[in-house]
């Protein structure tokens, strides 16, 4: 074991990790990166198949982002936004406004997806208090939702494994079914169902709208739930019914934003302009922690007044609008423009779709793709949709195998997640998918499956 690995195991508690398992197993130390590859301390390189947790867009060490950060370092690395303006934060805000859905006019900076969502929740709550509708306090959430790990965002989350233990700490929400055709319990004929999932939301709104502040949703794909893709038109329908019942729509684009789904934002697929939109992850091209919560003029203007009227939004973090992060954000948008990222993506998405069509393996139950968000659900029995027992850790085994073949990916339960950097070429995408195919085949067909990772 290297001395770095020793230090890690002695001092660090890793996210979402059972540390007993972590310290018992050999771990990979990443020392460097180049393009879409990560390089370990032995000099081995691996495809970054989950874009370093869904954040990296243009590859590592992109010269334009590197240079933007270096230049900003020569000016100022950090200063507060409390009482001061900083140059890249103002410039980035203007550029972002030009690409977000047209009804969004202002933004509030923060540092990560969880804080961006937390801000949306608090603003939506305060908005109704200020509008003289203090009874509108409840949030509709989706089953299996994931919006972050702070107490507020866990409250609007719905992943039992992560969130159950904290239930006594959380505020109550109204949970609607997760819209995913493969797992649908509302209907058996996906195309004939008339989107029963959206009707469930409408029923809740019809009955309770006077006490409902907002609905919060991950658009098109519930990512951390296992890449659960929503039927086309679902988001648009949510926009229609939230308008009808005077309820705010909060769209969490933390995972889907910045090209991931094939358009700049998932909202663009359905021409939806929400009341709030939260972004993080890809906003800096995957370099530095930055997030933003966007809102309409109606929301912003409602908070105008004096301090005594309680119209101020009392919230902010030390690193809000950090200049280095905003400089990286500006470089990210420049790359989108200069390198025609969105146009070039279409062929890559198609190439992935064609490759995935050949994944006719015995234990592949469902393949879900939206742009370069891909989830391959492995099941014990595809005919009956019987899942593999959790203890079998099939997803983890496939990912371990993929690593032996030079690809880093992470599972969500039995769903193999593939989220390559947008900069990956078609050849690289096909190569990574070949590795995933081979790894699934080896683990689920060629080897004797045992319990435990």
* Binding site as annotated, residues for substrate: 146, 281, 316, 410
Residue 313: partners with Cβ closer than 8 Å, 6 or more residues away:
108, 122, 123, 126, 303
Asked if 206 and 244 touch (Cβ cutoff 8 Å), the reply is: no
Give CA 76 to chain center in angstroms: 30
Element (H, E) at 40: strand 37-40
Closer Cβ to ligand PMP, 55 or 379, answer by number: 55
Residue 96 Cβ, how far from ligand PMP at the closest point, in Å?
17
Give the residue with the Cβ less far from ligand PMP, 263 or 405: 263
Number of residues in the chain = 453
Binding residue numbers for pyridoxal 5'-phosphate = 113-114, 252, 317-318
| Sequence-ordered list of residues with C-beta below 8 angstroms from that of 290, at least 6 positions apart, any chain | 109, 111, 280, 283, 284, 322, 325, 326, 328, 329
Q: Which is nearer to ligand PMP, 52 or 114 (CB)?
A: 114
Is 202 near ligand PMP (CB under 6 A)?
no
Does 325 contact ligand PMP by CB under 6 A? no
Q: Which of residues 142-161 bind ligand PMP (CB under 6 A)?
A: 146-148
Smallest gap, in angstroms, from Cβ of residue 281 to ligand PMP?
A: 6
SS3 of the chain: helix, strand, coil, percent, to 5: 40, 15, 40
- Say how many residues touch ligand PMP, by CB under 6 A: 14
Could you tell me the smallest distance in angstroms from the CB atom of residue 55 to ligand PMP? 8
Nearer Cβ to ligand PMP (48/218):
218
Minimal distance, residue 280 CB to ligand PMP, in Å: 5
CB count within 10 Å of CB 122 equals: 15
Binding mask 226-265 for ligand PMP (x = CB under 6 A): --------------------------x-xx----------
Interface map 74-113 toward ligand PMP (x if CB under 6 A):
--------------------------------------xx
3-state class (DSSP) for residue 299? helix
Tokens of 44: 């081995």
- φ, ψ (nearest 5 deg) of residue 246: 55, 50
Work out how close the CB of 114 gets to ligand PMP at its nearest, in angstroms, rounded to a whole number. Answer: 3
Who contacts 34 (Cβ-Cβ below 8 Å, separation ≥6)? 45, 60, 61
With beta carbons less than 8 A apart as the criterion, state whether 292 and 107 touch: yes
**Interface residue with ligand PMP, options 123, 124, 223, 228 (CB under 6 A):** 223
For ligand PMP, the closer of residues 68 and 224 by Cβ is: 224
CB of 6 to ligand PMP, least distance (A): 27
- The only residue of 117, 214, 331, 408 in contact with ligand PMP, by rule CB under 6 A: 117
Judged by beta carbon, residue 88 or residue 226, the one nearer ligand PMP is: 226
Q: Kind of pairing, strands 212-217 and 138-142?
A: parallel
Residue 111 or 428 with smaller CB distance to ligand PMP = 111
Read off φ and ψ for residue 123, nearest 5 degrees.
-65, -40
Binding positions are: 113-114, 146, 252, 281, 316-318, 410
Q: Which is nearer to ligand PMP, 139 or 388 (CB)?
A: 139
For 23-84, list the strands marked E by DSSP. 30-34, 37-40, 45-48
218 scored as a contact of ligand PMP (CB under 6 A) = yes
Residue 194: strand, helix, or coil: coil
Toward ligand PMP, which CB reaches closer, 218 or 270? Answer: 218
Q: Which of 435, 427, 437 is nearest to 367 (CA)?
A: 437
Please report how close the Cβ of residue 278 comes to ligand PMP at its closest, in angstroms: 7
Tokens of 336: 């989108």
Binds ligand PMP (CB under 6 A): choice among 100, 143, 224, 277? 224
**Residue 280 contacts ligand PMP per CB under 6 A:** yes
* Shortest separation between residue 80's beta carbon and ligand PMP, angstroms: 21
Using alpha carbons, select from 360, 379, 361 the residue that is nearest to residue 183: 379
Sheet holding 106-110, edge to edge: 106-110, 291-295, 276-279, 248-252, 212-217, 138-142, 174-176
Q: Nearest approach, Cβ of 58 to ligand PMP (angstroms)?
A: 18
Residues engaged in binding ligand PMP (CB under 6 A): 112-114, 117, 146-148, 218, 223-224, 252, 254-255, 280
């Amino acid at each position: 074991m290297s001395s770095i690995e020793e230090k890690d195991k002695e001092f660090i508690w890793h996210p979402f990790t059972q540390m007993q398992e972590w310290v018992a197993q050999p771990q990979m130390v990443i020392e460097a990166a180049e393009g879409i590859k990560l390089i370990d301390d032995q000099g081995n390189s691996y495809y970054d198949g989950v874009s370093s947790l869904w954040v990296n867009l243009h590859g590592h060490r992109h010269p334009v982002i590197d240079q933007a950060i270096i230049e900003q370092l020569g000016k100022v690395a950090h200063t507060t936004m409390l009482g001061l303006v900083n140059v890249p934060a103002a410039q980035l805000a203007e550029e972002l406004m030009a690409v977000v859905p047209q009804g969004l006019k202002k933004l509030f900076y923060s540092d990560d997806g969880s804080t961006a969502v937390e801000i949306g929740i608090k603003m939506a709550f305060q908005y109704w208090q200020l509008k003289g509708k203090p009874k509108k306090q409840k949030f509709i959430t989706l089953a299996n939702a994931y919006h972050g790990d702070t107490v507020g965002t866990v409250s609007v989350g719905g992943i039992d494994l992560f969130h159950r233990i904290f239930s006594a700490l959380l505020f109550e929400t109204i949970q609607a079914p997760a819209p995913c055709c493969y797992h649908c319990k509302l209907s058996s004929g996906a195309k004939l169902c008339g989107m029963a999932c959206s009707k469930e939301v409408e029923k809740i709104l019809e009955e309770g709208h006077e006490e409902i502040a907002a609905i919060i949703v991950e658009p098109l794909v519930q990512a951390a739930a296992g890449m659960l893709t929503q039927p086309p038109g679902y988001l648009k329908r949510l926009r229609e019914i939230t308008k009808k019942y005077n309820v705010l729509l909060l769209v969490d684009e933390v995972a889907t934003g910045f090209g991931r789904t094939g358009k700049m934002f998932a909202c663009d697929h359905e021409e939806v302009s929400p009341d709030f939109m939260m972004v993080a992850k890809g906003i800096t091209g995957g370099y530095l922690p930055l997030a933003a919560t966007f809102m309409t003029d109606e929301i912003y203007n409602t908070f105008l007044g004096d301090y005594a009227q309680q119209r101020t939004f009392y919230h902010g973090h030390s690193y809000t609008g950090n200049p280095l992060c905003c400089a990286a954000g500006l470089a990210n948008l420049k790359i989108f423009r200069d390198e025609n990222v969105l146009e070039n993506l279409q062929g890559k998405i198609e190439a992935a779709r064609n490759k995935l069509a050949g994944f006719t393996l015995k234990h592949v139950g469902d393949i879900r793709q939206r742009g370069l968000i891909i989830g391959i659900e492995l099941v014990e029995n595809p005919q009956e949709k019987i899942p593999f027992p959790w203890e079998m850790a099939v997803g983890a085994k496939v990912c371990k195998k993929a690593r032996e073949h030079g690809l880093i990916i992470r599972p969500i339960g039995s769903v193999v997640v593939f989220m390559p950097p947008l900069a990956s070429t078609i050849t690289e995408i096909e190569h990574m998918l070949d590795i995933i195919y081979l790894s699934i085949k080896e683990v689920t067909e060629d080897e004797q499956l045992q319990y435990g990772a």
